[in-house]
Amino acid sequence: MEVQITNFENAAFIVFMALMRRAIPYFYLNFYIPMESVAENMGQAVKIDSVNQEQFWFLESVLPQEISTDRPRPSCTARLDTGTVYRRMKLQEIVCGSSHLEGHNDLNRKIITFPRLVPIIRPYLDFVKADSETRQTKTPQY
């Protein structure tokens, strides 16, 4: 027997993906990762309960360094930045964010925070002037 997501979960996923699809070009977000990482992610994704158990390669930061309205739109043939940092994260971390300690000793540690995808949508809702009813009652339930 197959187990599928509920109608509500399906609707929440569709709303999230539709908003992300619109926020990506608005904020010039960069989701490029090397093909080797994509292939490894696909291998992880087919495992049982991978959504909860497996880690996937993802960018440390998807936000561009500098945003200006007069800069040209990135081309579809853009190359990967050699300074880009990738790390393995669970899907929960990718969507909802995470923080972890990095460093070799207690004096040299710093907290690394990944800016989750959900807060990227909120400024986009400001841009499209979503009404308060939609923002406060509809969006949070998804």
* pTM summary value: 0.64
Highest mean pLDDT among 23-27, 74-78, 114-118, 124-128: 23-27
Break the chain into its structural domains and give their ranges.
Answer: 7-63+83-102+112-135
- Residue 77 has a pLDDT of 42
Three-state SS letters, the chain: CCCCCCHHHHHHHHHHHHHHHHHHHHHCCCCCCCHHHHHHHHHHHCCCCHHHHCCEEEECCCCCCCCCCCCCCCCCCCCCCCCCCEEEECHHHHHHCEEEEECCCCCCCEEEEECCCHHHHHHHHHHCCCCHHHHHHHCCCC
Banded pLDDT at 36 (limits 50, 70, 90): very high
